[in-house]
Structure 1
Amino acid sequence: MATDANDFARSMGIATSGLRAQSGRMRVISENIANSSSTAATAGGDPYRRKVPTFSSALDRTLDAQVVTLGKIRPDQTAFNVKYEPSNPAADASGNVKYPNVNPLIEMTDMREAQRSYEANLNIISATRRMIQRTLDILKS
């Protein structure tokens, strides 16, 4: 029975790490969306640069299992979107304004994928809790 309890704890711990990682990913995506149409604070300056979350694997010694963590959040080095808007206060000497390298459609797609992964991990936790409850019910009878 001890290994079953360890398996339940390991299952819940791994799923919980997935919840934390996907939650962090959704936070980064939300920041990207919120800044998708911002401009630089100074004329000719660089606007918000899209951030890309990464994941890493780590050994959780208490669970004796590999868990996922939110890794480094890296700047997306793709080019900014440039529009000719000479009347914009953020325009450079040529009248061009740099806009963030954020595509809201891609961000929404990434957000949906993160939500689905979050829900999958939540379902694992719920299923594990149901199995624990059924095990306890069997032991009671």
Structure 2
Amino acid sequence: MSLSDVFTIAGSAATAQTIRLNTIASNMANVESAGATPEEAYKVRKPVFSQVLVDQGRSMDSPDHQVMMVAVNEILEVEATDEDRRYMPDHPGADAEGYVYFPKVNVIGEMADMMSASRSYQSSIELMATAKKMQQRLLTLGQ
């Protein structure tokens, strides 16, 4: 593995964490998004990550230079096992019986997930900064 591969790997991880942070923000922003039926209510979204082997072309080390990266396969909508049904007959989105359905967003769980994603993102950025300093140091040693 070359030092430049660190940028590819850490950059893909930072991008994945950005997507994770965006889905968490969307979940939290839609805590009070109502629907007339459970199907119309907002569904909590979660990104699914995987590792992907990417061909980086030829390098000095090997003719088939491959690097593992983080990829976002999809963003799943999590079906709530028990929707939050509230009796609000004056709500414009109420059903015929006067009920409105809200998503089951666990705000505390989302906040903990946000802190974890933020730390993972920060670690990726710090890794790239360290690799940059190492490359700059290598350039000064060669003079």
Q: Same fold (TM over 0.5)?
A: yes
TM-score range, shorter chain: 0.7 to 0.9
TM-aligned CA deviation for residue 48 of structure 1: 1.0
Tell me if the contact between 1:84 and 1:96 (Cα under 8 Å) persists in the aligned partners.
yes
> What is the TM-score of this pair, normalised by structure 1?
0.86
Work out whether 1:98 is the aligned partner of 2:93: no
1:49 aligns with 2:43: yes
1:93 is displaced (CA, Å) by 2.7
- Whether contact under 8 Å (1:25, 1:70) holds in the other structure is no
Match of 1:59 among 43, 53, 62: 53
C-alpha displacement of 1:31: 1.2
Q: What is the SS of the residue equivalent to 1:107? A: helix
- TM-score scaled by length of structure 2: 0.85
CA RMSD of aligned residues (A): 1.6
Structure number having the greater helix percentage: 1
Could you tell me how far apart the structure 1 residues matched to 2:79 and 2:88 are?
Answer: 23
User: Is the CA contact 1:39–1:90 (under 8 Å) kept in the aligned structure 2?
Assistant: yes
Quote how far apart the aligned CAs of 1:58 are: 0.7
Unaligned runs of 5+ in 2: 57-64
Q: How much does 1:94 deviate?
A: 2.8
Per the alignment, in what secondary structure is the counterpart of residue 71 of structure 1? strand
Deviations 1:66-90 (A, max 9, x none): 1101121011112321122222222
Q: How does 1:116-135 map to 2 (within 5 A)?
A: 116-135=119-138
Which stretches of structure 1, 4 residues or longer, exceed 4 Å deviation after superposition? none
Cα deviation, residue 10, structure 1: 1.0
